[in-house]
Structure formats: C-alpha cells, structure tokens
Structure 1
Amino acid sequence: MLENLKQKFPNTITNKMDTDEISEYVWFEDSRSILGIPRSEITAEEIRLLELLFAPSINPNNPKTYQDVSWKTFLSEPNAPLPLTSWENVRFIHFKLTHADFSISDFEDAFLAFVPSDAALVWENETSGILIETDKDESLSNNELIAISSTLESDFYVKTRMFTGRFHPVNQDLHHHRNQEKKCFALAQVHLPDLKVANLADIIPHSLINDPSVTNARWYINEILGKTKQDTELIKTIKTYIECNSNATYAAKQLYIHRNSLQYRIDKFSERTGLDIRNFRHALTAYLILLLNE
C-alpha cells in the first residue's frame, strides 16, 4: 500500500539515508518498506488518515518524533502552520527549573519516562519548556505531577515548578491559550511560591487583581465554565451554595430542593469545571467567575 502512496506524493523517499533533513519528512512504515513524505506536501488530515493505516516511523538517531519537531516549530514561530498531528485536543504543562547544571538530554529522558509515551516535550530555553499532552488517554493528575516533580528534584538536584493548562482543540487559538497560561504561571511563581504544581483555579484570584481587564476576565470565564455558562439552574445552585458558606442543608432549603439533588449538582459542576468547591481556594475562584459571568 505504501507503494500506491508514491503516486499521490511523487516526492516521497524510501530511505532515510537519502536526506540530511529527516525532520522535514513524515515517515510511515509497514512490514516490508518505509516511506517519507515531505511535510510541505501533506496535510494534518491526511496524516491522521495514514496513521490509521500505517505505523509512524521514528528516526532511531533522533530521540524526538515528528510530533516534537512540528510542535516546536508551531510554538516558536507566531505565524507557523498548525502542527502536523493526529491529536484533536491538547493541554500544555508548563515547567521551569532553577538551573540547568546537568545533562538536558538525561533530564528529558527521565521526565518523559513518567508521562504517556505519545507526549511531546518542547524546550523554550535551557531552564523552561512545555510538555504537550493529548486527551487520548487519562491525563496526568496534579498528584502525579507532584510525584514526578519530587523525583526529578531528588535525581537532578534542581527545583521544579509546573503549571497545568486546560485541554483545547488543536487550532490557531492555541497560541493565545499558551500565552495566557504563561502569564498565569509567572504569577503563580510569585504569589504561590510553595505550590509545586499550580493550575488555573489556584491563580485566578491573583490574576484578576493583577489584570482585571474585560478580555482577561472573559478568557477565564470561558476556560472555567465553558458550556456550563448556559446551565442557569446549575449556576444558580453553585452560587447559592457558596453564599450559604458551603452549608449543604441550608443551601438546599434556600433552593427548595433535596440535599441529594444539591449534592448531585455540586458533583456535576465539579466534573464540568474541574473545581472542587468544597476547597476554599476553588470555591473562591468559582464565586469570582460566577460574578464575572453575570
């Protein structure tokens, strides 16, 4: 079948030794042959289709897959095209190190050993970068990231800080989301210095004080609430619950619903937004977002 692809992509090559720019090709292989298609001649949709039929081939002399190369180009160049990837949704896990007095490749190998095998890692400089995670499998939890961070610190004698973003579709809006998350990460390092792994819920109150602009607030509302903005009954329930000092019995009476119904709605809100409003910090974030949404 790979032979048939040559008719559609006439500039393909069948040996990695035929080029000095392996990363400029997307590679596929079957049990008998290998094929490299120029990146400039194939679309992301075509890559997704071919990945269903053939296994992507990784260059054994280069630890980075075509995913990493494509993502690095996209993130480092403002006007770069979308990454050539089959992923539909991704999130960015930003990380920063206190120093780089060790082998970067060793650190990268150790980091990637703890995360899903298809995750991509892009360095922004020698002490900071982004781990790109897809939602194909269960995503890394904060507790898992804290454990990873602690292990890396003990192995490489370096302090690490991380910030987890939210999942977004792979489109040009990723640049905006990434920039907003970087601002949040910077604030987290200043205002939450003891928090090894921070997320959006942790930093929103500080961020709104630092930059109360309408554009900034609208991004937070969309990130936290999403389609939940349209569920007026749920929004009212959560707002009332928080205003009742998180007293479920009192809130249920105020809403004229059974306490079990209230609990169901709280769980529903938590599942949709990722906020556990029984936690003070998350309750504060939720209440601020609900007020902004009004």
Structure 2
Amino acid sequence: MNFNQFKSIYPSAFLTDDTKNDPNYLTFPYDNQWIHFDKKQLTSSEIKLLYLVFNKTVSNENTGNPQSKWSDFLLDDQLHLPVETGVYRIIQFDINKKDTRFDKKLWLSSFKSFFKDVQEAFFINDHYGLLIHRYSDYSITQDETIGILQTLDDDFSTKTSGYIGQHWPISIDFKRFFKEEQAIFFNQLKGNKQIFSLPDVALSYYASDALSKSSIIQHLKKDLISHPETKELITAIWLNQGNISLAAKYLFIHRNTLQYRLDRFYEESGFSLKNRNDLLLCYLLTI
C-alpha cells in the first residue's frame, strides 16, 4: 500500500524523516521515512494488522527463527531484553539495486559468514535489513565491513548502502539508540557516502536543522548552490581532509586543474578551501 491508501483509512497518519519516539503513536519504517499512526484511533485488531503489514517480511525471512527476541525487541513494543549481558552493534543495510534473480537468503548467509558472534541477521522488507553481532576482541573494523559489502556487491551485482552502528551495552536504552541510528541511516541514504557510521555523518545530520533556521547560512547557500560544480569541489576537499592530491584523484582531474579551481573559487567567494575554518563553513553550506 502507498501512503495515500493508508491516509484514506487512517486520516491522522503522517510521515516524518525521524522516529518521533512518541509512545502515543505506532511507528514503522516506510520508504526511507517513518509512518505514524495515532494509537488512540486504533483498535487492538488494527494494531495487530498494522504490525502484520509492516513486519511480515521479518517473520518470513528471519533465517528460520520467526520468534526472534531481537526483532521483537527492536521492531515491536516488546520491552524484554533479547539477551542479559554483552555489548552489541547493529549494521543496517539497504540493497537498492538488484535483479530478479537476487537470492536474499544466499546474500544474507554470505554476509553473516564474515562475522563472528552474530546474534541475528534478517530482512525487514525486500531491501532493508539488520545484522546484530556481539563485540569481542576480534570484531571486524569499519573498513573491513565496507570491504565486505563491496565484495558482496561485486558477487551479487547489487548496490548496497550500509550504516555501521556504534557498540552499545545491552540495556533498555539500546532500543532507543537503535531507533536514532535508524533515523540517521534513512536520512543520510542519499548522501555522499555509500557506507558510513556516526562520525562520517554526525556533523551534517545534527547541524542541518539549526542551519536551515539561519538567514545568513541560507543566503550564502543560495549563492553556492547556483553552481553545482562548486558543491562537488567542496565535497571532494572535505572528504579528503584538505589533501589536494587525494581530492584531485577523487575528482579524476589533474592536481593543477584542481588548484586552478580552488584559486578561482577563492576569487569569487572569498573563501579559501585550504583553510580549515573556511572549508568547514563551505561544507556546512552544502548540507
């Protein structure tokens, strides 16, 4: 069902880019956003039906374990912890390019095989899912996780976006942290990085709301976005931490060409992307 169909049945339903975390609403991931239903306007049967509609893939694809304590805890209103102790990390994945021959079970099995201490891995819908694993001295690093997803993309002819969560000790707060990480992932899916973690996107995610309220920032941003190649230039310098040679490789241009563009940008804007403060401000203008 599309949103308009839900809206025709539940007029108070609405979409947001974040989870809202309001106990008065029933909330589900929906098309890279969140859909919310007022619990006061739902019968117990309707609540059960909505859970079935939005979480049916979990029960069907949950690696042979439909009574999953992890999925109940993370996706439903269950408050019981899935385990008693330990530190865990959730890796979110979104496969946004696949052909009709794509085998979800084989992909998931392959993905799990790279990790030790996997607690659970499952698809929530036909393209989005989670892998939960326990922290140990042998836990895979972020760079290794990026390499794994890139390898799977090559093997399965897919294009996967991923969010590598932080390690959190299991507690009632774990679910709240996951909901925020989920909101970050959905918000940043169309950003510059295909696979990322909190340090990669924290600045753009948490600063975007404040920046949108600044008349100064909006005025500067209006001038900047009128030249699309300028955003590409700033992004390249930012992602490569001000290293001109690496930024030139990122843009597939000669170092001297990039240097010329930097000089021209300085002449036109008064901002030097070689200066860390200027670069930070200009990057914020691209968010």
* TM-score normalised according to structure 2 size: 0.47
Structure number with higher relative contact order (C-alpha < 8 Å, ≥ 6 residues apart): 2
TM-score by length of 1: 0.46
